[in-house]
Structure 1
Amino acid sequence: VDLVVAKYAPLPSASLGRLVSMVASSATPQWREQRNAALRRARERLPQVDVDGTRWFWPAGDNPTSRRYRKDDVLDDELRLLAPFDPIVWDRDRFERFWGWAYRFEAYTPAPKRVRGYYALPMLWRGQVIGWANVASKAAGLEVKTGFVSGRAPRDPTFRPALQAEHERMARFLGGR
């Protein structure tokens, strides 16, 4: 349980329960039988706080108000495209609470009903998820289509180079296209 919390914190109570259930369902039968007891113990001993009616958990010994989490210490100008199952993204309710917009994985949604695209990758820049990109590998190279929560790309002069650098990283990842 501690490893799960360390990886995904801060975790709303419902998400902690879901993750512990996922671990238990894939573990040995003995662990499955201990799921409720392990979850109860975790909820008793892990640091927690209620925010707007939701109880949040984080790892023992971690302090959410520490310097580690200050914006000026963790932000840089790099842009990252996040996989739909990245720890930042996988919990859709938590994602919406943090970033203020709903992300949905739409690969299995019929094309006419898609809002952001077949395989939209959330776009993380300067500590905010500001939009998404759909990346397709074509014969001529990568085809990248972006969308932004605000309706337009940031005007900051460092944004375009950061986006281009991430396109290049993605091209290398996909085999140099």
Structure 2
Amino acid sequence: MTAASAAHSLTRDQARRMIVRAQLLDARRPGDVVEVAEQLGYIKIDPTATIAPCEHTMLWSRIGWSYEAGQLQKAVEIDRLLFELDGTFRPMSLLPLLLPAMRQHPRRESSRQWLEANAKFRRDVLARLRAEGPLTASEIPDTAAVARKDDGWYGPNQVPQMLEMLSRRGEVAVVRREGRHRVWDLAERVFPQDLPEYSLEEAERLLAERRLQAAGIAKQKGPCTPVGMAGEPATVEGSKWRFRVDPEALATLDDEDEGGRVAFLNPYDSLLFDRPRLEEVFEFRYVLEQFKPKSQRVYGYFAHPILLGDRFAGMLDAEVDRKREVLEVTAIHEFADFEPEEMEMVRAEIADLAEWLGVAVEEAR
């Protein structure tokens, strides 16, 4: 079907099922970390660990009990099948598609001016890494001629900002982490050097296809999931949106439905990123309460949405207490009363989560 052809007509159930499958949250679990990254396109890094950091909960919610944190570290630092960029782990197969745009960074005029004013500082950082790398930011002297205003994230030291800038330009890269601290080196010593070359236009087209692959179905003109004219046109019952659908996701609609499962999603999980699509297709308005005053929270500081099959059924408010070695379950919020077997599934998933974390379950009374 071409872009000019009649759009595929989908039910809301079909659209949800395609999204859940594309996000690897159906009953058929993926086998390993790289498979997840290749399908989703990225794994978000966030240190908030009421239960576990985002990168680990994203992988556990998909792979399940066999996932161990060391598997991610091995894929990034030893096998070099994933790489870190801009707060995410991404599959190395995406790097050639990202490089054409990276080479044009920065596009903001103020950032260009800062980089130009600090040309010597940039050369100093690259020379230090070339001679002594890999290094943490604290091991590199700050020789900036012009400082950026402290925005509360970086502090007065300009080295972290320069390293971020150079990483987005593809000149330096994170080689490993020591705790939460990044260790940097020249990109040429971290990334493969035999990557295919693409024009900016071709790379953007292929990136749109990869985004649609991860989405299953997405709004044709949506800022959260920019897919452009990738895939094929589609409509969803009850929605006035124009959608694009991944042909491979369409092909799975006739597959035998193996049933759904329960998944607890970290608030920064990729499925939750496109808030408008969540509301339009899943009829789920998600609000992260992390930055709300306690008195205004309904579900909890860092409550995890509960996906039950292909619908959002509630919120899990829980937190790990490492000193007491327990997973404290403050509340299981139900949007509508769970059926007994649904509650049994949710509690079984909580038990599995606690076992994965190596703690016991403790429910609030």
- Fold shared by both chains (TM-score > 0.5): yes
2:252 matched to 1:46?
Answer: no
Is the CA contact 1:131–1:147 (under 8 Å) kept in the aligned structure 2?
yes
Fraction of identical pairs, as percent: 20
Match of 1:57 among 214, 235, 244: 244
Q: In structure 1, which of residues 95, 116, 131 is the aligned counterpart of residue 299 of structure 2? A: 116
Distance 1:50 1:98 in 2: 11
1:33 match: none
Distance in 2 of aligned mates of 1:84 and 1:56: 25
Q: Is the 8 A contact 2:232 2:244 kept in 1?
A: yes
Pair 1:85–1:140, CA change in 2 (3 A): closer
Shift of 1:6: 0.4
DSSP-derived class of the 2:317 partner: strand
Q: 1:93-133 deviations in whole A, cap 9, x for unaligned? A: 11122332311111111111112211111111232211110
The aligned amino acid for 1:131 is G
TM-score (norm 1): 0.71
* Residues in 2 aligned to 1:125 and 1:137: alpha-carbon distance in whole angstroms: 22
Return the offset for 1:85: 2.8
CA gap of 1:62–1:161, structure 2 versus 1, over 3 A, is: closer
| SS across alignment from 2:266 | coil
Instruction: String of CA shifts for 1:29-70, please: whole Å, max 9, x gaps.
Output: xxxxxxxxxx6xx41x520124432111122454278314xx
Structure 2-normalised TM-score?
0.37
Residue 160 of structure 1 and its aligned partner are, at CA, apart by 3.1
- Does 1:4 pair with 2:191? no
Structure 2 CA distance for aligned equivalents of residues 126 and 50 of structure 1: 22
Counterpart of 1:63, as a letter, is L
| Contact 1:81-1:123 at 8 Å conserved across structures | yes
Partner residue of 1:170? 353
Amino acid at match of 2:242: R
Query: What RMSD over aligned residues (CA atoms) do the two structures have, in Å?
Result: 2.4
Contact residue 75 and residue 126 of structure 1 kept, 8 A: yes
Aligned pairs, number: 148
- Which secondary structure state, in structure 2, belongs to the residue aligned with residue 98 of structure 1? helix
3-state DSSP of counterpart to 1:63: helix
Corresponding residue number in structure 2 for 1:146: 332
Partner of 2:339: 155
Preserved CA contact (<8 Å) 2:216 2:249:
no
Distance 1:48 1:88 in 2: 21
| Counterpart residue number, 2:224 | 18
Return the offset for 1:82.
1.4
Q: CA 1:149–1:14 in 2, change beyond 3 Å: closer, same or farther?
A: farther
Larger Rg: 2
Give 3-state SS (helix, strand or coil) of 1:101's partner.
Answer: coil
Structure 1 runs not aligned, ≥5 long: 21-38
SS in structure 1 opposite 2:305? Answer: strand
Distance, in Å, in 2 between the alignment partners of 1:170 and 1:74 is: 22
- State the 1:74 CA deviation: 4.1
For residue 136 of structure 1, what is the aligned residue in structure 2?
319
Residues 120, 134 of structure 1: 8 Å contact kept: yes
Which of the pair has the greater relative contact order for Cα pairs under 8 Å at 6+ separation? 2
Q: Which residue of 2 is the match for residue 31 of structure 1?
A: none
Where does structure 2 lack aligned partners over 5 or more consecutive residues? 1-207, 361-365
Q: Say whether the 8 Å CA contact 1:79–1:166 is kept in structure 2.
A: yes
Q: Given residue 56 of structure 1, which amino acid in structure 2 is its aligned partner?
A: F
Report if aligned partners of 1:135, 1:142 keep a CA contact under 8 Å in 2. yes
Aligned partners of 1:46 and 1:57: how far apart in 2?
6
CA distance in 1 between counterparts of 2:353 and 2:299 reads 19
Cα pair distance change 1:46/1:126, threshold 3 Å: closer
SS at match of 1:167: helix
